[in-house]
Amino acid sequence: MKFEEQLRWFHIEDENMQIMAVEVQKLRANKIEQMKVVQSGLAKLEEKVPLANQTIRGFTLDKSKDYGHNVMINIDMERMLHEIMALIDKPRVLQNSIISHLKSLNDWKTTEEELEDEIRIVDNIEGLFSIYL
């Protein structure tokens, strides 16, 4: 391959790498914005978990006061238990959702590190290219 052909090839590769670097930076910026929104939402959800648990405790206490000791022995106890279990499931579902979102956030952080590695590689290639030109 002649020097001129190699030089032309390097120019083409440099242009392609610059385009790719710009696209990667745009994707990274978009991902960062998305993750800020997700983190904000997760923070709001995490703030609600203690309130939900407190509400369940209050509901359970109120229900136990509403029902007399004798009444709790009959069929109403089963209905009350069903109501309480439904309330207990809500924070559990919320917690599972938060865990899922945190896993997505951790996965994204790994992807972000990989994107940064790719940007460093592109920068190194550009540096090498500028040295040889």
Q: Does 133 have pLDDT greater than 70?
A: no
Outline where the chain has alpha helix (H).
3-66, 76-132
Question: What radius of gyration do the chain's Cα atoms show?
Answer: 29
Q: Does 72 have pLDDT greater than 60?
A: no
Q: Name the percent of the chain lying above pLDDT 90.
A: 0
Query: What pLDDT sits at residue 102?
Result: 76
The CATH class of the 3-132 domain is mainly alpha
How far, in Å, are 7, 10, 26, 127 from residue 130 at the CA level?
Answer: 11, 10, 24, 5
Query: What pLDDT sits at residue 2?
Result: 80
Q: Does 111 have pLDDT greater than 80?
A: no
C-alpha 95/C-alpha 120 separation (Å) is 37
Token pair, residue 79, equals 């209905």
| Strand, coil or helix: 67 | coil
The mean pLDDT of 105-112, rounded to a whole number, is 74
Q: Which residue has the higher pLDDT, 36 or 61?
A: 36
Query: What pLDDT sits at residue 77?
Result: 67
Token pair, residue 17, equals 């790498």
Query: What pLDDT sits at residue 69?
Result: 56
Query: What pLDDT sits at residue 65?
Result: 67
C-alpha 12/C-alpha 6 separation (Å) is 10
C-alpha 22/C-alpha 29 separation (Å) is 11
Query: What pLDDT sits at residue 132?
Result: 65
Least confident of 23-27, 30-34, 64-68, 116-120: 64-68
Query: What pLDDT sits at residue 50?
Result: 80
Query: What pLDDT sits at residue 110?
Result: 75
Contact of 108 with 35, CB cutoff 8 Å: yes
How far, in Å, are 38, 40, 49, 131, 132 from residue 7 at the CA level?
Answer: 46, 49, 62, 12, 9
Q: 55: pLDDT confidence band, cut at 50, 70 and 90?
A: confident
